[in-house]
Structure 1
């Protein structure tokens, strides 16, 4: 009997270490920020960048009243979004780029909560995210509707039901995105408020909301990452300005 239990225990130990090995491989098989993205981590004449968790991008010589908290895509190094964050900060927003455990926002859905608490000087908050990060941001938003001015989804969708709320939602994705599950977009569109804004960026794909190279399974973009991000910033500015007008 002891021999049987010894074999069972030995087998469980082997399975455990195989699982740990596979998990370690999975979380380390991520998308790294490009050199171009890393350059955007440096302060310039318009934006001051503060290192830490979260990475913070502040407009220079301006007191930002609007804050945007960004959840990175799954297994994408958060620094990959620095160019997009810097461009948003240049428009006068305080931008906070969250560092997710194991590169997966699912492990810290409420990351925005502590950021908001630590920055009472911000009067209006938007939570945003790319891909998996967007879905997790939507879950956070569903539990913090009264504290937020809006939700921004980049190549993402909401599994949380926001349909009965008045939360403004902007959904952006590229026409050449082959990573985003379009069936899920259709299925979960009813989870968004009826008056949400949905914009398809002509020629854009999944990965070019960040700067981390080509993503497996993605479509070939017909525009540059710079152009896709320029359009994204333009749409976000318009979206936020609309909320100002409505209030």
Structure 2
């Protein structure tokens, strides 16, 4: 009877561990996927970009080239391609923009990913870093340890996790129900997009728990682009 009980306990433990591992695997592989508009950007032969296993680089419009770059960390559990429209808009306005691909679409697994960009895109000397939501938070952790290599921090629906002695801009939508707005510090530059929400900085559909936007996704991204370009020009 005791042998049977031990065997049942052992089997139960194994089943429990398998269930936990399976749950983790499912979670890590379940992300918001890029919509058709984002995917079409990356199929458009007229858009000046290139891609490797680590990054996607949208090259600055030559006529508007600011000779500066922006390293972007995607939001948590959001497919990196979802941000192609936003980063392409920035490049069209003269800012070379780089999406860093994150393991399992979570920037927490590669906080130092931006450091590779310096050597992968050597033509740019003046870099800014930032990101959306969790990506922005992780970007703030990176710049806190590498202030000499980065000019400033650009946060979309995010807030810094540490004190940073570099210029910061925080941009968020007033209808955002995901962001903890109480964590936004009015000591740095803050842009509130009236009617915007959490998800519309990217192209991945609606986000669970988010507020409903009263403006279009394109409008929200255009406002963000204008604010970012003015910020890096300062």
**What does residue 215 of structure 1 align with?**
207
Whether the 8 Å contact between 1:58 and 1:64 is mirrored in structure 2 is no
Deviation at 1:37, TM superposition (A): 0.9
How far apart, CA to CA, are the structure 1 residues paired with 2:80 and 2:206?
Answer: 16
Secondary structure (helix, strand or coil) at the match of 1:211 reads coil
Deviation at 1:213, TM superposition (A): 0.6
CA deviation digits over 1:109-154, x for unaligned, max 9? 0110111133232110011100000000000010011110111000
Please say which of residues 35-44 and 215-224 is displaced more in the overlay.
35-44
How far apart, CA to CA, are the structure 2 residues paired with 1:56 and 1:209?
Answer: 18
CA deviation digits over 1:207-245, x for unaligned, max 9? 000011111111111110101000000000110111xxx
TM-score of the two chains, using structure 2 as the length reference: 0.92
Q: Note the 1:107-126 alignment, pairs <5 A.
A: 107-126=109-128
- Number of equivalences: 231
How far apart, CA to CA, are the structure 2 residues paired with 1:64 and 1:42?
Answer: 25
Q: Note the 1:161-200 alignment, pairs <5 A.
A: 161-162=163-164, 165=165, 167-183=166-182, 185-186=183-184, 189=185, 194=187, 196-200=188-192
The alignment yields a C-alpha RMSD, in angstroms, of 1.9
Whether the 8 Å contact between 2:136 and 2:156 is mirrored in structure 1 is yes
Structure 1 segments, 4+ long, off by >6 Å, are none
Secondary structure (helix, strand or coil) at the match of 1:59 reads coil
**What does residue 30 of structure 1 align with?**
31
**What does residue 132 of structure 2 align with?**
130
**What does residue 223 of structure 2 align with?**
231
Whether the 8 Å contact between 2:61 and 2:93 is mirrored in structure 1 is no
Please say which of residues 3-12 and 47-56 is displaced more in the overlay.
3-12
How far apart, CA to CA, are the structure 2 residues paired with 1:9 and 1:138?
Answer: 45
TM-score of the two chains, using structure 1 as the length reference: 0.87
How far apart, CA to CA, are the structure 2 residues paired with 1:39 and 1:26?
Answer: 27
How far apart, CA to CA, are the structure 2 residues paired with 1:81 and 1:140?
Answer: 20
**What does residue 11 of structure 1 align with?**
12
**What does residue 245 of structure 1 align with?**
none
Over 3 Å counting, the alpha-carbon distance change for 1:146 and 1:2 in structure 2 is farther
Whether the 8 Å contact between 1:152 and 1:170 is mirrored in structure 2 is yes
Secondary structure (helix, strand or coil) at the match of 1:161 reads coil
**What does residue 50 of structure 1 align with?**
50
Over 3 Å counting, the alpha-carbon distance change for 1:7 and 1:161 in structure 2 is farther
Deviation at 1:41, TM superposition (A): 1.3
How far apart, CA to CA, are the structure 1 residues paired with 2:12 and 2:110?
Answer: 33
Mark the runs of 5 or more structure 1 residues left unpaired by the alignment.
Answer: 243-247
Secondary structure (helix, strand or coil) at the match of 2:122 reads coil
